[in-house]
Structure 1
Amino acid sequence: MKKLLLIVLNFILNDLQAQNKPYSLFLIGDAGNSTVQNDVHKTLQKHLTENQNGGVIFLGDNIYPRGLDGTKDAELKLLTQLHTLRNFKGDWYFIPGNHDWAKGRWKGYKNVIRQANYINKFAKDSLNQPNTKHFLPEKGLPGPVTRDLGNNIVLIFTDTDWWLHRSFYHKVGKEEKFKKMEIAYFYRLDSILTTVEKQGKKSIFLSHHPLVDYGEHGYHKDKSWYYALVNYTPFQTFGLLGVNRALNSEMNQPRYMKLADKMYQMLEQHKNVIAVAGHEHNLQVIKRPNSLFLISGSGSKLTPLKRKITQKDCLFNASKSGFMELIFETSGKVNLKVWGGDGTLLNEQKGGF
């Protein structure tokens, strides 16, 4: 009896200690281009082992170049990330990116479903976590899907590629007509953000594609004529055939631009929102009036920024491999650390979010 009481007391003490510790949420994107663990994976795994009171989000493009397409190479690229979780007892999730959707090809939907099943099976068989879905949103649908992590943190998952992948021969997850689903999505998103704000919690909006981006995939005025030519002239016929699928994930693409603007405007109507994305293969920290926008997409690839950033709202940017860590203090303050792939602390922002 005494032994049982000691076990219960120890469990309660450990739980109380965890509640009094900061919660670290690690953010890593585009980490699926290596068949063996690279330096970023190893550094992340070290941090996860040391921060059991925390979580990690893999921000899409988990497998290059065409998602889990049935090849051994694709499976190994996904396992490099899953193996970082072997000694981790915290929260973890994957979201899909455009490469997981086979980069616009017709097998994209099938590959996304296959990846979700593989990840959930790994959680059950290798990590003994059978009751949690770890790939969100499910079934190729756009979301929004929420997970309350406690610690006044609510995750909001969105699959932006549900909008960008569309083409007449592409099979994309559907429940009803596209327009009705889009209206329902934004209605639910506004409702979620309003509820979380009223509760005094933080909304962490998760999508693969950034809503604000000063990198290569972001809006470039000098390229706008080219995208207008492809999308608003007879050349758009090639788009119907899927020939311009490589352009769908560039912010100059009208559908992407319209989607990003609509989501951005909605997030900015609320407070306590942190929007997190990958896609851009570098690291960016951007502060707007009501929201913080983080881009952490250099888990296995690097893309130069290619232009000098003079905007005052860009607090940090670097074309370096690495990931980010949001630290939620028990006081309610949120700190940010940007880690390089070699373990170097590249940037730190304290208490401003």
Structure 2
Amino acid sequence: MLVYFLIIVPTLLFTFFAFSYWQERKYRRKPFYRLSDLGWKRQAPPSTGLLQSVALLGDAGAIQTDGSDPVMKLIKQWQLEAGKKGTMLFLGDNLYPIGLPEAGHRHRLMAETRLQMFINSIKDYSGKGIFLSGNHDWLKGRKGGLEQMLRQQEYVLQHLDQQDSYLPLNGCPGPTCLQLDEGLLLLVINTQWFVHRGEKPLGHAQGCPYTDIEEFFVQLNKILKRNRHQRILIAAHHPLYSNALHGGKFTVKQHIFPLTAMHRRIYIPLPVFGSLYPFYRKFFGAYEDMSHRKYKRMRKRLLRILHRYNNITYVAGHDHNLQHFEVRGNNYIVSGSCSKTAFVKKGGKATFTLEELGFFVYNYYSNGEVWIECRTVSESEVKGQTVFRKKLNYTLTEKPATVVAAG
């Protein structure tokens, strides 16, 4: 009996992993579309009347600095199309691996070179640019992260003479509002504040408007309630929905060769035991995973508020791929593959997923329509290629009447 057990169980496990690996190979780096979105190519946005175009540039911190970076070329093409109506929105993790360190550090030169490339691309552009911070900009969430982030903020503000170029200021939680156009409100949240392990600012002494974090959620709800007549674009670093690593999704290879998480070349097979690491990340989580208690608490509180409204698009980076979700009348985008790519699982609540270099663009038109499109790098097309587009539907209310004081 023991002999049969020792033969059958490994055989079943091998068959399961082999079949799963074969399934993954079929769709890796291929776009997944929800059934109702398969005909997306037949849909087209208005040919005129573009009011605002926002490039959602997540996790760009590992771009090539020799002028050959394909995503930077893709961004340049978008700039030519959008003109002064465009906004470059960097969604955090702007500098790998640890943000902008102090002068003399071994990572300083490369980090400064990359950051200056971003700043120059904004200076040479008629539109504007806005930086958010991510966990890598905060020294990967460790002690001393606040100082690291503030160093990057100071550098951007010093070298980029544009108002609102780094949001929220001083590492505060936010929310910070910016009216991009009539009927379109940008709202920026510093989600790293909620999952950060080291010092984080709060209170007037550190440049933040309140001393109790509960006031953040109260203020967020007030802003959303007051602006139900507008389309609201919420920008943050951490996604609220994801079919990728930080959402607890792993490849078969990561179950069999778990040490590749430390280095991509450590191919030591550890079947069964190797699944302990993915299971831990899925159900308990590292500090930057949705399953971690801090992240889980933040996500629950934010969704409880966002689900009250139907005029919101929430955009983030963090996971190195391209994803779109429609949940309870709102849209959720992951646009985190400006310099790195990683596995993303198809299906689930996702309407679209893809593991490729690129970014999403959010376009707002004079007739009130909002369209998103996903652009990826193409070896044959200088302009890149559009692999997905969709018109977003909002439920808006009447604009509140202006109250004029008597006398």
Task: Give the structure-1-normalised TM-score.
Answer: 0.81
Which residue number corresponds to residue 114 of structure 1? 151
- Alpha-carbon shift at residue 77 of structure 1 (Å): 2.0
Which residue number corresponds to residue 201 of structure 2? 173
- Alpha-carbon shift at residue 149 of structure 1 (Å): 1.0
Aligned length: 306
Pairing 1:139-288 to 2, within 5 Å after superposition:
139-166=170-197, 170-175=198-203, 181-197=212-228, 200-219=229-248, 226=280, 247-288=286-327
Which residue number corresponds to residue 62 of structure 1? 94
User: Counterpart of 1:264 in structure 2: which amino acid?
Assistant: L
Tell whether 2:119 aligns with 1:82: yes
**Separation in 2, partners of 1:341, 1:81:** 18
**Separation in 2, partners of 1:257, 1:229:** 11
Which residue number corresponds to residue 345 of structure 1? 386
The question of whether the paired residues in 2 share the 8 Å contact of 1:224 and 1:252 is answered with no
The question of whether the paired residues in 2 share the 8 Å contact of 1:30 and 1:279 is answered with yes
Structure-2 change in CA distance of 1:146 and 1:301 (3 Å) = same
User: Counterpart of 1:94 in structure 2: which amino acid?
Assistant: F
The question of whether the paired residues in 1 share the 8 Å contact of 2:129 and 2:165 is answered with yes
Identity, % of aligned positions: 27
Structure-2 change in CA distance of 1:254 and 1:176 (3 Å) = farther
- Alpha-carbon shift at residue 318 of structure 1 (Å): 0.2
Tell whether 2:203 aligns with 1:136: no
Q: CA RMSD in A?
A: 2.5
The question of whether the paired residues in 2 share the 8 Å contact of 1:220 and 1:252 is answered with no
User: Counterpart of 1:345 in structure 2: which amino acid?
Assistant: T
- Alpha-carbon shift at residue 300 of structure 1 (Å): 0.3
**Separation in 1, partners of 2:231, 2:155:** 30
Tell whether 2:330 aligns with 1:291: yes
Structure 2: gaps of 5 or more residues? 1-47, 103-107, 251-274, 379-383, 395-407
**Separation in 2, partners of 1:145, 1:293:** 19
Which residue number corresponds to residue 327 of structure 1? 363
The question of whether the paired residues in 1 share the 8 Å contact of 2:310 and 2:328 is answered with no
User: Counterpart of 1:347 in structure 2: which amino acid?
Assistant: F
In the TM superposition, what whole-angstrom CA distance separates every residue of 1:54-111 from its partner, at most 9, and x where no partner exists?
2121000000011011311111121232232233222321100000001022221011
The question of whether the paired residues in 2 share the 8 Å contact of 1:269 and 1:290 is answered with no
The question of whether the paired residues in 1 share the 8 Å contact of 2:248 and 2:283 is answered with no
**Separation in 1, partners of 2:195, 2:58:** 19
User: Counterpart of 1:286 in structure 2: which amino acid?
Assistant: F
In the TM superposition, what whole-angstrom CA distance separates every residue of 1:106-160 from its partner, at most 9, and x where no partner exists?
2210111111111111212xxxx3xx13110111111111111123111111111
- Alpha-carbon shift at residue 173 of structure 1 (Å): 1.3
